Chains A and B, each alone.
Chain A
Amino acid sequence: MSTHDPADRAHNPARRRALSCLTAWSGAAVVWTVVGGVPRALGATGAGTPAAAAKDALTFVQISDTHIGFRKDANPDVVGSLRRAIADIHALPRAPAFVVHTGDVSHLSKPEEFAQARDLLQEIHVDRVHTVPGEHDTIDDGVTGYLKYFDHDGNGKAWYSFDQGGVHFVGLNNVLNFKAGTLASLGEEQLAWLKSDLKNVSRSTPIVVLGHIPLWTVWEPWGWGTADSAQAMAMLRPFGSVTVLNGHIHQVLQKVEGNISLHTAMSLAYPLPTPGQAGIGEPGPVKVPAGELGKLLGTRQLSIVRGRQELALIDTPLER
């Protein structure tokens, strides 16, 4: 059942061009490694078998921006999208040790949305899903509602760290200090905590940092950055291998700064526009033609091999 009404936004040729640009950003499944700070593709899926991670590699999955509670044209069934992602995770040849969720778990911070999200995440066959909050999780009363369902260690803070498989993981909350007209920030208390947390980590331990909003300035007019991230980066710079995993922008972008590589992720709810696109002035949900949505949502599998600086990342859309 298709319409060819020229007034229909979905069939506007100019919009199709803009959207094919969007697909180029986030659609491909690519395996990357980072050696000496320079990303190197091991081989794209579909073009050949990607190099397998070694047997003792720690493997985990990143999902992001599930927006449970969202129910509009851009995706009338975000629960279905999350369940398709969970099926993909269960079909992985090597089961991940755990899953990380880089924020915007809910859409409106409502208790029933948090509850449904927690129940859905518990359907994943892993011991643990580690989450960090997004700004959609802190509407109305900050992290209080979010923490009732997702307090990592009972400390009443949305930041934490844990060690697994020889890797040090840090979860940060950069949706805490919103002020008028400025980027979000980590704040003094959290930065002080991060400094003391990293003090006991050896320089050769790989570090993975989770944070919702990108920890580099992707596009300031849309709030796509963290005001005091430079202080956090300075604390992370001495370490041999640092991988920062972010969400928020609903598309895959990467940046490498020396030993620190930063990667944003696809959403499991709806795509957002790329900044600077002609005719699109704001970061609102993008409606795409039926059948295209699954190509713009997806998951990421990460493998860390002990003793090697590089990580292997595979970004996989829900539909190829």
Chain B
Amino acid sequence: MDYVGSRRSTHLLRVSAAVALISGTALVMASIFATAAPPAPTVDIAKFAYTPKEITVAPGTKVVWANHDEAPHTVASRDKSFASKGLDTDDKFEHVFANEGDFTYYCTVHPFMTGVVHVRKQ
């Protein structure tokens, strides 16, 4: 009967609309949570200096250094826990800081260049 059929199809329409709305919302929420993770903190090496000179990160964070100078530089920790190879212009170095602590580092080619990474649980 037309009346029953149209009610069922309306019902179906409402159900599928609700499903679409819920899954659409879920998709949007999923993408919000996906972009909520921050990009790896980057230290720029430029004009013979590390910028920012001091950063604080949580354990497990990867830090990236990028050399923008024409001169080569390195990143070497004072406690010898990490050391990059020579970085030419546009070369990058990355290190994951597993443990808490304060990690002073410097450039082995120009040791007046220094920086520090503070690792703290957050």
Contacts and interface: CB of A to CB of B under 8 A. Distances in A.
B85 interface: yes
A139 B86 contact: yes
Q: Is the interface of B mostly helix, strand, loop or mixed?
A: loop
Contacts of B104: 180
Given A178-B108, A223-B110, A140 B47 contact: no
Interface in A117-132: none
A281 B47 contact: yes
Contacts of B105: 180
Given A180-B106, A282-B47, A283-B48, A108 B72 contact: yes
A222 B112 contact: yes
Q: Is the interface of A mostly helix, strand, loop or mixed?
A: loop
Contacts of A182: 111
Contacts of A178: 106, 108, 111
Nearest to B46: A282
Interface string A98-140: 0000000001110000000000000000000000000110111
A178 B113 CA distance: 11
A183 B112 CA distance: 7
A135 B47 contact: no
A109 B72 CA distance: 11
A49 B103 CA distance: 60
Interface in B72-112: 72, 74, 78, 85-86, 88-89, 104-106, 108-112
Nearest to A107: B72
A181 B105 CA distance: 9
Given A139-B109, A180-B104, A223-B111, A284 B47 contact: yes
B61 to A, nearest CB: 22
Contact of B86 (A72, A109, A183, A283): A109
Sorting the interface of chain A by its residue count into under 10, 10 to 19, 20 to 34 or 35 or more gives 20 to 34
B56 to A, nearest CB: 19
Contacts of B108: 135, 138-139, 178
B109 A285 contact: no
Nearest to A177: B111
A72 B74 contact: no
Given A107-B72, A108-B72, A284-B48, A140 B111 contact: no
A178 B110 CA distance: 9
Nearest to A283: B48
25 contacts: A73-B70, A74-B70, A108-B86, A135-B108, A135-B109, A135-B110, A139-B72, A139-B85, A139-B108, A178-B106, A179-B106, A180-B78, A180-B104, A180-B106, A180-B111, A180-B114, A181-B106, A181-B114, A182-B111, A282-B47, A282-B48, A282-B49, A284-B47, A284-B48, A284-B71
